[in-house]
Amino acid sequence: MNHNGKPNLTTRSIQPENQESPIHFIKKWETPLSYFYRRNHFPYPILNQYNYWLQVIDGQSKKRYIHLTELLAMPTSTLTVPLECAGNKRANFSPKVYGEQWEAGAISQGKWTGVPLRNLLNDTELTMEAQEIVFEGADLGKKPGTEGIVPYKRSLPLEKALHPDTLVAFQYNDQPLSVKHGHPFRLIVPNWYAMASVKWLRKIEIINHRFSGPFQTDDYMYYPNENNDQGEFPVTTLNVNSTIQQPLNYSILNSGTHKVEGIAWTGRGKIKEVQVSFDNGQTWTKANLSRSGDSDYSWIRWSLVREFTNIGEYTILSRAVDSSGRVQPDSPYWNQKGYGYNAVSKVHVKVE
């Protein structure tokens, strides 16, 4: 950044507070807290001493409490993990869909420190019948289409919940979690869209059946048909994706050499390659990749220097490929609620 300019968050909604990260200007592996995007379903919860006790409830409804100080005394993991809102880039869908009109800034990443969830659970709690684990945040409110007051609540299948990298985190970038990002406890679920990383975590419940709830089986579902709800399936892992950070869309450049750069990430394996096109997809060049070294989950940074000798207009595309063989598609996977946008990233520039 420079001493004059502060690229702030972009407000999409005041209540609840939804604000986008200035992603085009983030060049670090660890996004400073002040540039981390904010995504809320409800007003910020008002915390008290109860929130420092995590409730664990087993399949027989037996309750147990774990205090923050107990977590602090346990062995921890630190992982650099991007959190991406499932609605990131929703504004790009056509036909347009309802919901916050996120552009590319509903993603941020940094260093999360916490205790692997599985180390918090006892064998007696994880019975043979256990099927899912439900996570409840302290945030609650009314929700269109649902009766009464509902808390934010999501479940994970057992195998994901017990993955060694699924953390109950209490630090971000070596600082205690901030109140706006889940203080004192936030579930961190690497590779999944961020609706799974429940903030203000207060209750962990092991259940012997499939969980259903408005944030699990109504929202955060892909409904691929425009006119009916058939063929729906849940939003889970991140799609392979990339964002061109610079140059900005529709900018005017001097002729000469310019750096084209951005980030790329995936929820399955690692980013293997990022390809860039300067002729609207006819030919592609591999970008140089730079990895944080810190974590396999981290986004990668990519760049390419190019001489723009000819005056005129260019369409620049970026396309990430992951180690599971997935490639960003030319067209987005349209769905009613606008989740998981990952079509090829595109900017137009004019060289004068």
Residue numbers at the binding site for a copy of itself (CB under 8 A): 1-2, 4-15, 17, 19, 22, 24-25, 43-44, 96-101, 142, 144-145, 180, 248-254, 313, 348-350, 352
Q: Which is nearer to a copy of itself, 159 or 352 (CB)?
A: 352
Q: Which is nearer to a copy of itself, 163 or 180 (CB)?
A: 180
Q: Which is nearer to a copy of itself, 17 or 296 (CB)?
A: 17
Minimum distance from residue 138 beta carbon to a copy of itself (Å): 15
The first and second tokens of residue 161, run together, are 């919940």
Beta carbons of 316 and 303 less than 8 angstroms apart: no
Q: Which is nearer to a copy of itself, 6 or 62 (CB)?
A: 6
DSSP designation for 88: T
Residue with tokens 């107990």: 70
Minimum distance from residue 260 beta carbon to a copy of itself (Å): 16
Q: Which is nearer to a copy of itself, 251 or 324 (CB)?
A: 251
Amino acid identity, position 76: T
Q: Which is nearer to a copy of itself, 131 or 217 (CB)?
A: 217
Residue with tokens 């981290």: 298
The first and second tokens of residue 123, run together, are 């064998």
Minimum distance from residue 7 beta carbon to a copy of itself (Å): 4
Q: How far is CA 64 from the centre of its chain?
A: 30
Q: Which is nearer to a copy of itself, 145 or 293 (CB)?
A: 145
Name the burial class of residue 347, with classes exposed (0-12), middle (13-18) and buried (19+) by CB atoms within 10 angstroms of its CB: buried
d(CA 321, CA 342) in angstroms, rounded, equals 12
CA 294, 295, 296: angle at the middle one, nearest 5? 140
Minimum distance from residue 163 beta carbon to a copy of itself (Å): 33
Minimum distance from residue 284 beta carbon to a copy of itself (Å): 24
Minimum distance from residue 143 beta carbon to a copy of itself (Å): 9
Minimum distance from residue 6 beta carbon to a copy of itself (Å): 8
Minimum distance from residue 291 beta carbon to a copy of itself (Å): 25
Q: Which is nearer to a copy of itself, 90 or 154 (CB)?
A: 90
CA 346, 252, 34: angle at the middle one, nearest 5? 65
Name the burial class of residue 283, with classes exposed (0-12), middle (13-18) and buried (19+) by CB atoms within 10 angstroms of its CB: exposed
77-84/251-253 β-pairing = unpaired
Q: Which is nearer to a copy of itself, 117 or 317 (CB)?
A: 317
Q: How far is CA 108 from the centre of its chain?
A: 7
Minimum distance from residue 9 beta carbon to a copy of itself (Å): 5
d(CA 233, CA 221) in angstroms, rounded, equals 5
251-253/345-351 β-pairing = parallel
CA distances for 352 relative to 244, 252, 275, 314, angstroms: 21, 7, 25, 11
Residue with tokens 């999944």: 192
